Chain A
Amino acid sequence: MVDVLVAPDREAEVGTLVEEHEEQPGFVRRYIFSTDHKIIGIQYILTGLFMAVVGTLLAVLIRLQLGWPEQQWPLLGRVLPGGFTDGVMGPEFYLALVTMHGTIMVFFFVSYVLVSGFGNYLIPLQVGARDMAYPFLNMLSYWVAFLSAGVMLASFFVTGGAAAAGWTSYPPLSAVPTAVPGSGWGQTLWILSMALFIASFTMSSLNFVATIFCLRARGMAMMRMSLTVWSFFISAILGLLAFPPLTAAAVMLLFDRHFGTSFFLPSGLVVANEVLPHQGGSPLLWQHLFWFLGHPEVYVLILPALGIACDILPVFTRKPVFGYRIQVYNLVAVGVLSMVVWGHHMFVSGMSPFSGEYFTLVTLLITIPMTIFGVNMIASLWGGRLLLATPMLFTLGVIAFFGTGGFGGLFLGNATADMQLHDTYFVVGHFHFMIGGVTLLATFAGIYFWFPKMFGRSMSEAWGKVHFWLTFIPFFIVFFMQHFLGLQGMPRRYYAFTSYEFLQTTMGQNVVISIAALVLMGAQLVFLANFFSSLARGRRAEANPWRATTLEWAAESPPPHGNFGRTLPVVHRWPYEYSVEGLEADYTPQTVSPREAPVTA
């Protein structure tokens, strides 16, 4: 393993930038087809934010239907004639909404912004490299990602509408075009879009791992890397190993749909009065392959959120994160364990009950590193001097949501309780806290925190705090209440539940949830307004406005191409040198030499 960048006497030459008189490439090569990781990172973030808006609009429609089923919406009926008849939403549209909301939010919002966006932006800066290991591949990864998003959006406009078999796309529902309208061209485009997404994510992950392994600055040992970088590292490795089974499954589903194969389709199927010719396939095979990716995928999404939270905490408590090494081992343990627990999504699927016991056991195991991780985050607050800036508020929210959502996992992760809770709103509440709450708040924390670095300007603190309060409270209401809807037995993906006696009591709760959800979604306008107006007119930011220690703060705001000027930084200490006893300054950047300040780790 290459631990040191280059021999000391060569360092100055290696780090040299191009002389000023060389010609500047045009706008297109600089900002559109750039190979600079910072531009690519920002491209991912902006694309992801756009897709988030789309995903949020879908959620608005979902909550309107669930809060007020059978209601007429004349305006919507005119804007979206395909989905509404006489102003009333149709079930086929509802199922497409639910499917696409999930798909877009998971893959095109959280993954693009949090993992690809922040990952690409921060990794070279935080490890002290000039760019990613494969800059051209990096650019390619973004444009394939862009194409993937385009294909997914296009699926709304084909005959039959977008895919409607859930983001999990279980066959036979997703494999037989006549089983539900969205299983026509919509599902095919969904599959193609996912194939492109996986290709793009693979390219990204290769870059993450190679850069972290090989391109760290001199003195940047693995145990001096920030938890943010560690989390991206584990995430990327997980991505590389876990996505291929979904690729294989997607290929097989495509073949079942268009070329008459029977990978997932058994014999004797009768759909829309037609006996299908398939023989001997297994719908469970899809579930195994899908969840083999699906479970590690949620950790791919949440680990960077947790890593970022762990790194923002010290800046605003002015003391090191509690248990740095333990956190690293937790991340590794979770990464490894995440690959063997996938069956907890399949407890009532018809797989062998013995498997159910096995998956319960390992799922219980995975709660241990995650709990220790969460407690360490809380412990990081002990004894600190708290500064309640916006990034810190969101980070505290991350801790709260992580705990709350994580507890729900205990219910779902054991086969017995899951019998009652599988496919109910308990699951919806749980995963929204984890990959919708923890990741969302961490994304916001990261944006408010690194905005000055990325754009050289600061966002408004006041509006940021308003955004926090208007996000945390309604979010908690919506998804906390959904756990209890699940306990009452309310199933998922129901267009309406008005005909069920045992669900009558949930009507009022759904109204409350819908109202809170609308407030939550409306509040994001505050964020968008702040973001874009700060881009244009925000106060100019210095290089290190938060007085943080990690390497990106040693570069200008925003960093130039090549990141660090003529010479690469040399690292002498870990990233948590805050409030060291006996020193005047309450922080010591990683680049400060041992002669000037003692090294604690």
Chain B
Amino acid sequence: MIQQSATFPRPHAADAESALRDDVVQLGVWMFLATLVMLFAAFTSAYIVRRSASDWTPLELPGILWVNTVALLASSGALERARVAGRRGRVSSARRGLATAAALGLAFLAGQLAAWQELAARGVYVPTNPHSSFFYILTATHGVHVVAGLGLLVYAVTRAWNGAPLDHGPTARLMTASTTFWHFLVGL
């Protein structure tokens, strides 16, 4: 009845098909980002409205958050350089950049956890006050997506180290997609 194939379409029709695939994957990433924008916009608008109420007591946020932001920005820069290097065929440069980006991403997550720990030590938990509730929820939601992005990066790292080409094909697409996603999370 219905035949299933394992490889489809055939590899030697690669070029045009691959270029189309690049576009299809990128379009998917951008659409997904639109969805995420709406998600964070929902949280943010709720936050803004809540902030205007009379019983709002702002939290003093831990200083390490700035360090984390810098780490994530640096990670983003490293990843972008890695992607460009990959597209130009400079494989070892791309691999290094990927690994750096992943490491810095990990550092960001660790730093975020440290921020949470600092707040907890001060007795500020999720339900303590509206600002803390929003802070934890927003950073948690962002963090979950960073973990997912990190997963993509680690996957890209393993593929790159196993010799997959970085200037075209699935791994290149993965790198482009991950980079877009990563930049978005950094921007957020």
Chain A residues within 8 Å of B, Cβ to Cβ: 2, 5-7, 10, 13-18, 22, 24-25, 29-30, 34, 36, 38-39, 130, 133-134, 202, 205-206, 209-210, 213-215, 240-245, 247-249, 251-252, 255, 259-263, 279-282, 285, 289, 292, 558, 560-562
Contacts and interface: CB of A to CB of B under 8 A. Distances in A.
A561 B5 contact: yes
B2 A558 contact: yes
B38 interface: yes
A240 B34 contact: yes
B24 A210 contact: yes
A206 B28 contact: yes
A249 B42 contact: yes
| B-side interface size class | 35 or more
B144 to A, nearest CB: 10
Contact of B38 (A17, A134, A245): A245
Nearest to A254: B137
Interface stretch (B12-20, B69-77, B108-116, B179-187): B12-20
B6 A262 contact: no
A260 B137 CA distance: 13
A126 B89 CA distance: 39
A560 B42 contact: no
A285 B31 contact: no
Nearest to A22: B5
Contacts of A562: 5, 8
Contacts of B8: 17-18, 130, 562
Candidate in B1, B5, B16, B31 with the most chain A CB atoms within 10 angstroms: B31
Contacts of A25: 4, 6
Contacts of A22: 5-6
22 contacts: A17-B5, A18-B3, A18-B6, A22-B5, A29-B4, A34-B4, A36-B4, A133-B27, A206-B31, A209-B31, A213-B27, A214-B27, A240-B38, A252-B137, A255-B133, A262-B133, A263-B50, A263-B133, A280-B55, A281-B130, A282-B50, A561-B3
B46 interface: yes
Contacts of B141: 251
B121 interface: no
Contact of B42 (A39, A248, A281): A248
B38 A18 contact: no
B24 A133 contact: yes
Contact of A262 (B7, B16, B39, B130): B130
Contact of B2 (A241, A252, A560): A560
A24 B3 contact: yes
B9 interface: yes
B158 interface: no
A263 B36 CA distance: 21
